[in-house]
Amino acid sequence: MPSIEILAPAGSMESLDAALAAGADAIYCAGKNFGARAFAANFDHDQLIEAVDKVHLYGAKLYVTMNTLIFEDEMEDAFKEACFLYEIGVDAVLIQDLGLFDLIHHRLPDFPLHCSTQMHIHDAKGVRFAKSIGASRVVLARECTRETVQACCKEGVEIEVFGYGALCSAYSGECLISAYSSGRSGNRGQCAQNCRHDYTLFQDGNALPLENGRYLMSLKDLNLIEKLPDLINDGVTSVKIEGRMKSPAYVYAVTSLFVKARAAYDNHQPFALSNSDIQMLKLLFNRGFTLGYYYHQHDQSLRSSHRPNHQGVPIGKVIAKDRGGITIALTDSLSLHDGLRVLSRKEDVGIYVSALLDHGSHIKKAEPGMIVTIPGEFDVTVKDTVVKTSDCTLVETIAKCMDANKNRIYVDMTMDIHGTTIDLSIIDQFDRCYRCTVENIGIQPAKNQPLHVETVTKSFSKLKETPFVLNQVTYNGADVFLSMSALNQCRRVLVEGFMRSIISGYKRMVEPLPYPCERFDLKMVEPLAVNIKYGSTHHHPLMHTISESFDGSNHLAPLIYPDSIHEQSSIYIQYIGDIDDSFQQIGLFGILCANSYALQFYYRHQLIPMIAFECDPIQSKALIDGYTIRNGQIPVIYYQTKGNIRLMSMSDCLIKAAMDDPIHCNRCHDHGITICDHSRKSYRLEGNHHCILHLYTKSPYDRPLIDGAVELITIE
């Protein structure tokens, strides 16, 4: 068994092939629906069948993401999709929606379920709860520190952590800014990437200078390749590479480096990225690299606030410009068909190198130290920095490596001839074996040269269209002759039978169990007004003033309780890790309920939730009606009608980072702090005493109460 699973992304079949060639132990992808990367190519049903079969032939696993909120009218199709994935042999599904999780767990109880990072499980309590409801693995939130991960790994369930790629500014699975600003919910796989936008920061209505950059919420990319020994020693089961929107070259290169790092660990050898490795990673995609929250990095060590996109690598400066083009003094190589970006003071300019001139002569490649001209009119300035964002030579080199490593599963074959019967067997490096017999294939007594093992090896090594590469052949036979075409037929029968036996071993019969119809003793609840502003003492006829508590690890610990002034029978929570079946609870904000199955799940755990922000009135009514019809009782659920909404919570304070303030600077409490994006949408910022920063709507939200729900408003 490997010391840790290397889990690679696949947004397309080409990326899946790249991951397999690189040596990934597992791959995650999505179907055309219900995946949190709705804008990736993703896989249709035929492609999913091909993918799961191919992955299993390579001795790897395939996990499929269904990690979005599911509306009531989608639940039937979502379960059908889960049945399809179960039948074709997918190894596990990643789930965000607890209604879908509960439905699959009850109806397909032996289907492994992984809790997506979108569930925002960020401590040992959350892992414990996930295990109790049937999760076989938990993908921890990216905000977890090393100490938290170590504690989670002791809970007796597989732990998966992100080791490379993009970081979200907001706590995973609790971001509503995209849904609020553009109707594209991150919880529905349609994130508009608001954290990569540029913002103006205001204090008491006055714009503040932003010397550290205007992309206030944009974070660098995580890179824990060299820290893999720590992950292994901490007990992590799987290290995940982010990148379903990235290229096959990116997938291959990053996966290969993780595989090399693990091999070094397993062989008790040191590992460090070489300069060429780092250059390659930067060229493929980078916003700058960080060790992230795992190692308590904060402020500018975490942020990419000057630019939110691929930064490439610097290769020179513009030294001249005219109508004929721009002239660049190179500090690195440049080739035809490379991609460049000129970091202009006005606006960055992208350039595809379709022509390259050296003193007027066309060339294909320029070396460091040369001065070259790129023809064309570009709105840049002398002394602007030029960065390379794509390198065609690198991509071609990686493509050759991928092709060379397609056949990487070593096999031994045996051929025994007895009279007119040929016994064949094959065994691979995973100890998977297969045996078959071939009769009447033209065996003849040898007249001249009898069949030798070299001839058998020549035929049996023709495995180009398979994942296999021949290690050795054992031949036992008398002095007989067998034509090359007959030998080739033996090889095809053996290898094709071997592949069928591997693939068929993962297929399952779909025989869903019934989902329980449950009735609960639902307590009637009163309309609720919640004060979402930390530390406020305002009052309201309906209001329950609440305050946050913390778990000591610089995390938003989502336990929130009624103020001691009020005598309430309920505890208010906003995180599934704080669910306790022994008393009545009310779920707020982070407790996502978008369908009647989630509602039933929460009732089973003594919790009354609020309808998810993403549900419009029609979807909300369908949720209520769906529960009523299936369970024969009228549900109780909250629906937010008025007030400000907490759109994001951030583990790192962008205000102190932007202004170089010290921790606990209190700026957000002493002043009115807002940010405004390029479309002039404004948001209010306020942190708590642990510098966990909350982003709220600036303008109050207002919508009518739907029939069958109980009103919830937020006030300040």
Q: Which two tokens stand for residue 401?
A: 């490596």
Q: Number of helices and strands (H, E) in the chain? A: 17, 41
DSSP calls for 227-266: GHHHHHHHT-SEEEE--TTS-HHHHHHHHHHHHHHHHHHH
User: Does residue 200 or residue 170 have the better pLDDT?
Assistant: 200
pLDDT at 623 over 70: yes
Element (H, E) at 700: none
- Residues 694-704: what's their mean pLDDT? 87
Asked whether residue 49 is domain-assigned, the answer is yes
Q: Give me the domain span that covers residue 422.
A: 410-504
Total domain count, the chain: 4
Q: Are residues 569 and 475 in the same domain?
A: no
d(CA 468, CA 59): 11
pLDDT at residue 570, as a whole number? 62
How high is the pLDDT of residue 548? Answer: 47
Lowest mean pLDDT segment, chosen from 298-302, 459-463, 556-560, 624-628? 556-560
Residues 224 and 241: beta-carbon distance below 8 Å: no
Distance CA 242, CA 164 (A): 6
Q: Tens digit of pLDDT for each residue in 80-108?
A: 999 999 999 999 999 999 999 999 999 99
Whichever domain contains 353, its CATH number is 2.40.30.10
509: in domain: no
Q: What is the 3-state secondary structure (H, E, C) of 578-637?
A: HCCCCCCEEECCCCCCCCHHHHHHHHHCCEECECCCCCCHHHHHHHHHHHHHHHCCCCCC
Single residue among 275, 299, 323 that ends a domain in this structure: 299
* Residue 89 contacts residue 114 (beta carbons within 8 Å): no
- CATH number for 116: 3.20.20.70
In a domain, 308, yes or no: no
Angle separating helix axes 13-22 and 45-57, nearest 10 degrees: 10
- More reliable by pLDDT, 390 or 323: 390
pLDDT for 534 beyond 60: no
Highest mean pLDDT among 291-305, 556-570, 627-641, 687-701: 627-641
Average confidence (pLDDT) over 191-218: 92
Residues 467 and 563 in one domain: no
Can you list the positions of beta strands (E) in 323-399? Answer: 325-330, 334-335, 339-343, 349-352, 357-358, 361-362, 365-366, 371-375, 385-390
Provide the pLDDT for residue 415. 96
What does the pLDDT average to over 408-432?
Answer: 95
Distance CA 12, CA 100 (A): 25
- pLDDT tens for residues 303-321? 999 989 999 999 999 999 9
Is the pLDDT reported for residue 384 higher than 60?
yes
Report if residue 190 sits inside a domain.
no
Examine the domain organization and report whether 289 and 371 are in the same domain: no
Distance in angstroms (rounded) separating the CA atoms of residues 335 and 338? 6
Average per-residue pLDDT in the chain?
90
571 in a structural domain: yes
Question: Is 714 a residue whose pLDDT tops 90?
Answer: no
Structure tokens at 259: 């595989």
Both 132 and 235 in one domain: the answer is yes
Same-domain status, 441 and 339: no
DSSP state of 303: B
Position 474 scores a pLDDT of 96
pLDDT at 438: 95
Query: Is 677 a member of any domain?
Result: yes
Question: Do residues 100 and 66 make contact, with C-beta atoms less than 8 angstroms apart?
Answer: yes
573 versus 199: which is more confidently predicted? Answer: 199
pLDDT computed for residue 559 by the predictor: 35
> What is the rounded average pLDDT of the residues 392-415?
96
* Domain boundary residue, one of 403, 429, 444: 403
Task: State residue 232's pLDDT score.
Answer: 98
Whether residues 273 and 136 share a domain: the answer is: yes
Residues 148-164 have pLDDT tens digits of: 999 999 999 999 999 99
Flag whether 658 is in a domain: yes
**What is the band of 145 on the pLDDT scale with cuts at 50, 70, 90?**
very high
Residue 280 has pLDDT above 90, yes or no: yes
| Position 555 pLDDT exceeds 50 | no
Q: Average pLDDT, stretch 433-444?
A: 92
Q: Is residue 184 part of a domain?
A: no
Question: pLDDT band at 551, cuts 50/70/90?
Answer: very low
pTM, to two decimals: 0.93
Mark whether 633 and 681 lie in a shared domain: yes
Does 247 lie in the same domain as 106?
A: yes
Q: What are phi and psi of 38, to 5 degrees?
A: -65, -20
Same structural domain, 103 and 233:
yes
pLDDT of residue 197: 92
CB 385 within 8 A of CB 343: yes
Same domain, 123 and 15: yes
Does the pLDDT at position 493 exceed 60?
Answer: yes
Residue 294 class from Cβ within 10 Å (0-12 exposed, 13-18 middle, 19+ buried)? buried
Tokens of residue 239, six digits: 């290290």
Nearest CA among 365, 410, 420 for reference residue 388: 365
- Residue pair 31/290 in contact (Cβ under 8 Å)? The answer is no
Q: What is the rounded CA–CA span in Å between residue 716 and residue 704?
A: 20
Q: pLDDT band for 368, please (50, 70, 90 cuts).
A: very high
581 with 498, same domain: the answer is no
Q: Dihedral of CA 128/130/132/135: which sign?
A: negative
pLDDT at 527 over 90: no
Among the candidates 383, 403, 423, a domain finishes at 403
Residue 536 has pLDDT above 90, yes or no: no
Taking CA atoms, 714 is separated from 165, 531, 548, 617, 699, in Å, by 36, 6, 15, 19, 12
Q: Which tokens belong to 467? A: 């994942």
The rounded percent of the chain whose pLDDT value lies above 70 is: 93
Task: Please check whether residues 399 and 492 belong to one and the same domain.
Answer: no
